[in-house]
Structure 1
Amino acid sequence: NTIREEVVPDQMLLAAAEATAGALGARHCWIFRRTPLGQFTKAVEHDEPPGSTPEAAVRAAQELIVHGDPQNVVESKVGNTLMLTSVARYRGEINGAISACRDNDQPAWNAADRKLLAGVADHLGIALEQIANHEALERLSRTDELTGLSNRRAFFDDLEKRLAHQRRTQRPGALLYVDLDNFKPVNDVHGHHTGDAVLIGVSELLAGGTRVGDLAARLGGDEFALWLEESDEPAAIVKAETLLDQIATLSGYSADAARPLGFSIGIALSDAAVEEGFKDLVGRADEAMYQAKYAGKGGYVVGASASKVTERE
C-alpha cells in the first residue's frame, strides 16, 4: 500500500524502502533498478551509513539471476552486516532488486522475513514498471517527435533553470535563435519527406556540437534555438559562424540554386547582472533573427543588450 500511495517516482521508492526497513527491523535498505543492459543501479536508499556501498547487494541480486531460488531471496554476510536480497520482476522479466541489512547485534533473518521481502519485491516489480512508463511518457512530452531535440515547452522550462543557475554563478550565456532560410520551397519542390530530412539534419548540426549545460531545441516548424552555457559574445559569434558553414552540408536538399538552404541567426547575450526572464531573452534573440533575415538571409545579428532594450522601452 505504501508504494501505491506515492505518486512521485523517487518518493514512491523511498517510501517503499523506509516501510520495508521498518517492517523487517532492518537498519538499512536499498532499492535498485535494472538497466536495459542488465546492470543494477541504486535508485534510493534508506538510512545508508556513511561510506557504505551497495555492491554486496548487487552481487546477491546477480546470484539470484544466475542460480535462482525457490523463495526468490538470498542471504549473505558482509563484514558485520547481515543482508537479505530479493529481485523484482514484471511479467517474468527482472527489472530491479531490494536489499535490507541488519547488523550482527540484531537477530538473524528468519522464514517470515524472507517471505515478507519476497512479497515486497513482487509489488516493487510492478511499481518499477509504472515508473519506467511514467518516465517514458515524460520524455515523449518533452521531446520533438521528428528530431529528438527538446520541444518548445521543455526548452523554455530548462532555459528558465539555466538562467537561474547563471544568476547564481554570475557567468555569461548566449541564446541563438536559428531559422531556416528557403525551407518552404524544399517542401514545395521535393515534398515533405525531404523537408523532414532537412529538419533532422539541422537537429544533428545543433546537437552535435553541444557541451554540458548547453540546450538545443526545435521550437516549431523551421525554427530552432540553442542556449550556450558560459559563453560570451565572441564564443556565440564563433558558434553562429560554424553553423552558417555547416548548413552547406545540407545544400543538396535545396529547392534550386536560386533558393539555397541557409540559416538566419539571432544572438541574444545574457548578462547575469541584469534581471531578465526567459521570455524577454527569447524575444531579443527572435528580433535579432528577423534583422538577419531582412538583411538578406544567410547571416547572423547580435541583438541589443537587455539593458538597452529596457532603456528603449
Structure 2
Amino acid sequence: MNWISNYVRPRINSIFSRREVPENLWSKCDECGTMLFHRELKEALYVCTSCGHHMGITPRDRFKAFFDGGVFTEVAVPQPVEDPLKFRDQKKYPDRLRAAQKKSGEREAMLVVEGEIGRTPIIAAGQDFSFMGGSMSMYVGNAILAAAERAIETGRPLILFSAAGGARMQEGILGLMQMPRTTIAVQMLKEAGLPYIVVLTHPTTGGVTASYAMLGDVQIAEPNALIGFAGARVIEQTIREKLPEGFQRAEYLLDHGMLDRVTPRAQLREELITITRMLLGESPAVAGDLPAPAEETLPDVVAEDTGQAADPEQDAKA
C-alpha cells in the first residue's frame, strides 16, 4: 500500500486539485456583483461589461486612452511646503502622504498633462480619487494654476476631470483657500478667451464642487456620478425633508439644468473632440489618422489619354 499512498494518491491530487488563482486577475463590480477579468475590464476603461457601472479609473489610465496614441507630456507643478500645520491624527500627515504615494504610484492627487485629442492640442488635468480621496490640497491648487498658466501660454483649451471628497483636512484652512485660488485660475482662462471644460466623475463633492468643478463653459458628467456639496443625509437633517430618489446623481442634475451632458466613458473622447473644436471655431475632426489635405495641395487632374494635366480652355475650344 505504500506505493499507492506515497505516489498514486499525491499524483491524482495534483492533477485534479483546484489551482489557486491570483486575486488581482479578477475584479468584482460594486453594482451588480459580476466578476470581471482584469484585462477585459481595462479594455472597457473600467466600465462593467454587464451592467455599465462606471468604476474608478486613475488619471494616468484615463489619459492613455484619451490622448492620440496614448501619448502625453506631464506639466511641471510647483511643490508646496510639506505638512505646513504639523498635523497629526492617528498618523502624521507626511506618513499618510508617503502611504498614498506608494499605493497610487503618483506624487499627489492631481495629474496635469498636455497632448492632442483628434489632432487638437489641449491641456488636461485629472484628479485621482485613490490618492487620499482626491482631496483638494495646496498641491492640487498649484496643479490647477499650472494647468491654466500652461493653457494660456500655449493658447490651448483646458479639460479637467474632477473626482474628490472635498478639501484635505490635514491642511485645514490652507486646503480651503484653494477654492478662491482655483476660481481665479478659471477666470484667467475666461479672460484669455480659452475654453474650460469640466468632466465630473464619481464622486465630486465638497469644496471642489463649490469651486472649479462647476465653473466650466461646458459641464459633462459620467453616468450615475455622485455630485454635490454636502451629503444627502446632512441635507435631510437640515431641511427636515425627504430628498427625491436619485438626488445628487448626474442624471438628476442633468434634468434640473446643472449639467449639459451625461456621457458614458467610452464616448467621452469623441464628444470632447467635437466640443473642443466647436468652441475653438475649428472645422470638425476628420476620421482617420491624418487630417484632410488642404485644397491648395491637391494635385491637378490628369487626363487619361495624354498623361497631361487637363486644360479647361482647350476642352471648351474642342
When the two structures are superposed, what TM-score results if normalisation uses the length of structure 2? 0.26
Task: Identify which of structures 1 and 2 has the higher relative contact order when contacts are C-alpha pairs closer than 8 Å and 6+ apart.
Answer: 1
The structure with the greater share of residues assigned to helix is: 1
The structure with the greater share of residues assigned to strand is: 1
When the two structures are superposed, what TM-score results if normalisation uses the length of structure 1? 0.26
